[in-house]
Structure 1
Amino acid sequence: MTQFPHDQFAKNLLESLLAPGGQVTTALTIDSEVREIDVYFNPNNDPTRISDLGLLARCAAQPAVFEPFRNPVSTAEIRSCMSKLYDLHRETVRQAKKDGRKLTDAELPILWILTPTLAAPTLTGFGAINEVSWGDGVYLLSPLQKTGIIVIHQLPSIPDTLWFRLLGKGKVQQQAISEVAGLPVDSPYRTDALKLFGNLRIILEAQKSRKTEDQELIMQLSPLYLAEIQAAEDRGRKLGERREETLILRQLNRRIGDVSLQIQEQIKSLPLERLEDLGEALLDFAGMEDLTAWLDTNG
Structure 2
Amino acid sequence: MTQFPHDQFAKNLLESLLAPGGQVTTALTIDSEVREIDVYFNPNNDPSSISDLGLLARCASQPAVFEPFRNPVSTAEIRSCMSKLYDLHRETVRQAKKDGQKITDAELPILWILTPTLAAPTLTGFGAINEVGWGNGVYLFPPLQKTAIIVIHQLPSIPETLWFRLLGKGKVQQQAISEVADSPLDSPHRTDALKLFGNLRFILEAQKSKKSEEQELIMQLSPLYLAEIQAAEDRGRQIGERREEVLIIRLLNRRVGDISLQVQEQIKSLPLEKLDDLGEALLDFGGMDDLTNWLDTNG
Matched residue, 1:155: 155
Equivalent residue number for residue 103 of structure 1 = 103
Q: Which residue of 2 aligns with 1:253?
A: 253
Q: Distance in 2 between matches of 1:44 and 1:228?
A: 32
The 5 Å alignment of 1:272-287 reads 272-287=272-287
| Code of the aligned partner of 2:15 | E
Contact 1:137/1:154 (<8 A) preserved: yes
Counterpart position of 1:241: 241
Question: Does the CA-based 8 Å contact 1:240-1:272 persist in structure 2?
Answer: no
Q: Secondary structure at the match of 1:134?
A: coil
The answer as to whether partners of 1:241 and 1:271 remain within 8 angstroms in 2 is: no
Q: Deviation of residue 253 (structure 1)?
A: 1.4
C-alpha distance in 1 between matches for 2:144 and 2:16: 30
User: Structure 1: how far apart are the matches of 2:285 and 2:38?
Assistant: 63
Distance, in Å, in 2 between the alignment partners of 1:166 and 1:233 is 26
**Letter of the 1:246 counterpart:** V
Deviations along 1:92-135, one digit per CA (max 9) or x if unpaired, are 11221122211111111100000000111111111111112111
Query: 2: CA distance between counterparts of 1:12 and 1:5?
Result: 11
Amino acid across the alignment from 1:260:
S
Is the 1:138–1:149 Cα contact (8 Å) retained in structure 2?
yes
RMSD: 1.5
The letter of the residue matching 1:223 is P
Question: What TM-score results when the alignment is normalised by the length of structure 2?
Answer: 0.96
DSSP 3-state at the match of 1:38: strand
Taking only the aligned residue pairs, the percentage that are identical comes to: 89
Where in structure 2 are the equivalents of 1:175-186 lying within 5 Å? 175-186=175-186
Aligned to 2:16: 16
CA deviation profile, 1:136-175 (whole Å, cap 9, x unmatched):
1111111111100000001111111111011000011111
Given the two structures, how large is their TM-score scaled by the length of structure 1?
Answer: 0.96
SS in structure 2 at match of 1:37: strand
* Post-superposition CA distance 1:240-296 (Å, at most 9, x none): 111111222122212221111121011111233333333333233221122223323
Q: What pairs with 1:283-294 in structure 2 (closer than 5 Å)? A: 283-294=283-294
Deviating more after overlay: 289-298 vs 165-174: 289-298
Counterpart CA distance in 2 for 1:298 and 1:262 is: 16
Post-superposition shift, 1:297?
Answer: 3.7
Unaligned runs of 5+ in 2: none
The aligned counterpart of 2:42 is: 42
| Alignment correspondent of 1:165 | 165
Q: Tell whether the 8 Å contact from 1:17 to 1:189 is kept in structure 2 after alignment.
A: yes
Tell me the CA shift for residue 223 of structure 1: 1.3
Gap regions ≥5 residues in structure 1: none
More moved, 24-33 vs 60-69: 24-33
Separation of aligned partners in 1, 2:99 and 2:255: 64
